[in-house]
Structure 1
């Protein structure tokens, strides 16, 4: 990965905007430090996700990471984002789009979105925003998504979910349209340890007709899939009534694997339910950030709704390091010069994006 960064972003004609999180996550500096060391034509837009009553340890870690980011990227802007309103409503997605609308993207060739230290409720709307800009021909030309892949770290930083499930901003799909009321809803939740309560609330919110839980396989821990199946035994056998043949397995380290699996499921169901109200897949990415990116790509391509519980905070194991020195970076070139043909127009909430 360092070879690609050096070969591509060091080119003299590259002018790059890095969009990333400046928080307590030890992966916050992973991409910024490498880009700034390679190129002087990098500026950064760094978001601080503000949630109520964060622990002092998180504040201290975020301060250290922010100081390091400010030193690494001379041309940068730190932007705080309120995730919840005064009434407890989730407003982070709308706030982030309003901030992006005030930015200038003139003369840029590349956007790099580092999701390593961004939540789903922030990273998904950011990426959709730039995909839609490129689709309208408003540039920049290239959109890259990076993530520091560390499933053990994902497991050791656990979200504390809010009580109000909803859809990620920009990812309602056609779920709110009257025509979708009769659609057969298939829920695809990504299982993660310690998230039974959150997934239970999402199940009640979605009221799916069928559930196909997603388990990581292959995985860095060969027994992780079995451990998750045991943890969710009650849900699988009783609450969700899952046939073992309906469990979805996806490569923990390859977002394209889950992306292709979701598209295949969608393709198989459409002709089956076409005459009886249609089919709708609902995604709920939890746990691994890499697998969440696979869900994101499928949601973008097929306009699938993403049901989510926005975290009100996080719990972190004491063993989590302050910084990941040698991260395992995964890169997705989501749009731009790498593709010889233009992508078909996206759909948003059941309609083509103008």
Structure 2
């Protein structure tokens, strides 16, 4: 039987609705927003900040500068331009460099950003705004979990908003160079390391994206799933994208992963809630089936579209699902990538706050058996 879902219904906005929400909500006299966003080379870095600044919203900003070894000079120049614009947007702001890899090559970005957040003061802040448009999964997922758990402990601020600039073509043109060590995103092990999880039937849900075969191959070896249900975008801005991805991953689908065509998952490329609900439905269907044989465990690997990654994040938060990830050691930026996106297609999800009636469906705690 399907359980109550924390974000169904969910308050969300897309496109022009987001511009109206930004200018109407955050300019209310009782509002003070704390903005967390990436200050990097991604042309979407300024998407939310410039709109908040133009509306005259009171904002304290924390700009996160993800540092990776040996960045390309062109990307450094782009990041410098974006950072200068971001620093000029608000009077109260802080730029924090976050090392993504340690001296031994270990992924430490998630832990480092949590240490930064622990040093912040949220006095008088009513709303936290996280713009994941220019943040990696390894950084953005721990940030959002930090605030969800903080709000759950009633430490405030009361409201949590997540924004992302939806641009699938840009997601394809900015290609990550994967590191050699797959692992779980900080805060998203989902009980996978517990002894009881060893007997669980692992279902891997990788989000297929162009040019990510090598990364997904390493993740498959790391997860060692019993079954695989790849996620394809449909509907999508490019109606042939699903077919193109199926052709690119034909060897994996037919041989390596041995995927039955009935097990391919389709999710709306532009709506994070579609993938969120789909993942929860799969979890609901599998729990009673495997209850007597060690249980079921869904393992997520969001690559490619940031909007679909947001849907995976919401499901992972609600059900404490593990997120297997291969942190990028760098990026390749295609020649068609602009310096700035002037009219981004923004998506807003109101994750937590006083807009929702209480009590809400609870989150599954790490290591606790699922009901």
TM-score category by the smaller chain? Answer: over 0.9
1:71 maps to what in 2? 88
Unaligned runs of 5+ in 1: none
Matched, 1:245 2:267: no
1:36 maps to what in 2? 53
C-alpha distance in 2 between matches for 1:345 and 1:185 = 24
Distance 1:298 1:17, change over 3 A: same
Where does 1:147-226 land on structure 2 (aligned, <5 Å)? Answer: 147-226=164-243
Match of 2:139 among 122, 126, 140: 122
Runs of 4+ in structure 1 over 6 Å off: none
SS at 1:124 equivalent: helix
For residues 299-344 of structure 1, what are the alpha-carbon distances to aligned partners after superposition, in whole Å with 9 as ceiling and x for unaligned?
0000000000000000010110000000000000000011112334
C-alpha distance in 1 between matches for 2:247 and 2:368 = 41
The answer to whether the 8 Å contact 2:23/2:57 transfers is no
Q: 1:40, CA displacement in angstroms?
A: 4.2
TM-score (norm: length of structure 1)? 0.98
Unaligned runs of 5+ in 2: 1-17
Where does 1:294-309 land on structure 2 (aligned, <5 Å)? Answer: 294-309=311-326
The answer to whether the 8 Å contact 1:46/1:76 transfers is yes
Q: 1:348, CA displacement in angstroms?
A: 4.2
RMSD of aligned residue pairs (Cα, Å): 0.9
**Aligned residues, how many?**
352
The answer to whether the 8 Å contact 1:110/1:141 transfers is yes
2:292 maps to what in 1? 275
Matched, 1:99 2:116: yes
1:136 maps to what in 2? 153
For residues 130-155 of structure 1, what are the alpha-carbon distances to aligned partners after superposition, in whole Å with 9 as ceiling and x for unaligned?
00000000010100000000000000
SS at 2:338 equivalent: coil
Match of 2:72 among 52, 55, 61: 55
C-alpha distance in 2 between matches for 1:23 and 1:321 = 13
TM-score (norm: length of structure 2)? 0.94
The answer to whether the 8 Å contact 1:166/1:309 transfers is yes
